[in-house]
Amino acid sequence: MSVNVNFLRGSLLAVAGFAGLAALSVPAEAETVKWLHLEQQPAVVDLWRQIADEYEKAHPDVTIEMQFLENQAFKAKLPTLLQSSEAPSFFYTWGGGVLKAQSETGMLRNIDPALDANGGAWGNSLLSSSVDGMTFDDKVWAAPFKTGVVSFFYNKELFEKAGVDASSIATWSDFMGAVKALKDAGITPIAGGGGDKWPLHFYWGYLAMREAGHDGFMAAKAGENGGFTGEPFINAGKKLAELGELEPFQNGYLGATWNDALAAFGDGRAAIILSFENTAQRQAVDATDGKGLSEDNIGIFPFPTVAGGAGLVTDNMGGINGWAVTANAPDATEGFLEYFTSPDVVRRLVEVSNILPVTKGTQDAVTDPLLKVSADALAKETWHQNFLDQDLGPNVGAVVNDMSVAIVSGATSPEDAAQQIQDTYELDSM
């Protein structure tokens, strides 16, 4: 791979800065790095500005301009911005199909040279699973900085009432047994947000991961072995249909929003929710009393494995967020991003914003007990799968969401659902 000499010189200067932010040789030309974000928490933005100021102080000829767009405006305006003279130097990304499509337009540059520089110092400092999540066609198209994991959260009191031991749930059969035990005890097993659809795609997605495993899932994306109509994906649908036949969700779940599902869990009206790492905080906000379950009444367990499946319990599904660098960004852009994801900085980010970091050796900075469970799971993970409605792109993702609801509600068969997903995937790939 060809390497820009000026870029390497800038990277070496940046590395020296990370060692102690001492006085450095300055770049030959002044550079302005434009940082486009959508963060609205004042405390987080203030810390980001402090970090940018520190980098500017260590690199006197670099100026970092922070630019904000609200979430929907960001999504609407970004495509036009990227093609204009006002393009940001780097911007927030959710990864997945949108990032892949952007990488194919020539509007971005891959950051492999920066990750590989200095003996791979930056690349080796990040969790490999997070870097893989930003990799397409063997090139890394964004610098990951935070991630998440979807897990089962459960109400300890309701589990105890039903005689269910969460620590014994290792397989899908164990999980189904727990659902039946909860129902037998007169407890609604699961809070579901079928009205928003995407919350139920976690079930089909995780089951597909557990059935196919990493290699099988990647083979399906490559169109091999029948793609998403292959046996692992049919089996995932069958298991989801069997769960639906137990009627495990709260009444009206097909019309319920995600906030409704969180409220059902937070109110104690359902014992389980398959949800994000920040569920303990979110359920309290959405609960009817504004307080929800106490954190010591909430437990977590990972999505179980399936008998005969190729997937591992350490294969996680969750969001992954990063910063994509534009094609004409100044060389200093990668240098700043390396500093932004350096251990000391990340520890400060964790303290203020409770992110789950992707920088190695920083997971211990997460002190909240429930967040720490998620951080530990991420530190041990063997595969990180982005949400399918991100990873597979919006068109295929929408079908996955629709089919997940259709399968669990009995509206369509696992076979027909798999065929619709595959048909859309093929059309989207043309």
Q: How does DSSP classify residue 313?
A: T
- Where in the chain is CATH 3.40.190.10? 5-148+318-383, 155-316+392-429
Looking at the DSSP assignment, which residues form a beta bridge with residue 385?
A: 317
Residue-level pLDDT at 354: 83
Looking only at Cα atoms, what is the longest distance across the chain?
73
Residue-level pLDDT at 28: 52
Residue-level pLDDT at 212: 98
Whether 22 and 346 have beta carbons less than 8 Å apart is answered as no
Residue-level pLDDT at 2: 39
Distance of CA 95 to the CA centre of its chain: 8
Q: How many residues are there in the chain? A: 430
pLDDT in tens, 341-365: 999 999 999 999 888 999 999 988 9
The DSSP line for 160-205 is HHHT--GGG--BHHHHHHHHHHHHHTT---B---TTTSHHHHHHHH
pLDDT in tens, 13-48: 343 444 444 333 444 568 999 999 999 889 999 999
In CATH terms, the fold of domain 155-316+392-429 is: D-Maltodextrin-Binding Protein; domain 2 (3.40.190)
Looking at the DSSP assignment, which residues form a beta bridge with residue 147?
A: 320, 356
Distance of CA 20 to the CA centre of its chain: 31
Residue-level pLDDT at 183: 98
Which is nearest to 394 in space by CA: 382, 384, 402? 402
For the domain covering 5-148+318-383, report its CATH number: 3.40.190.10
- The residues of the chain scoring below 50 in pLDDT are 1-27
Instruction: Determine how β-strand 90-93 pairs with β-strand 31-37.
Output: parallel
Q: Hey, what amino acid is at 372?
A: K
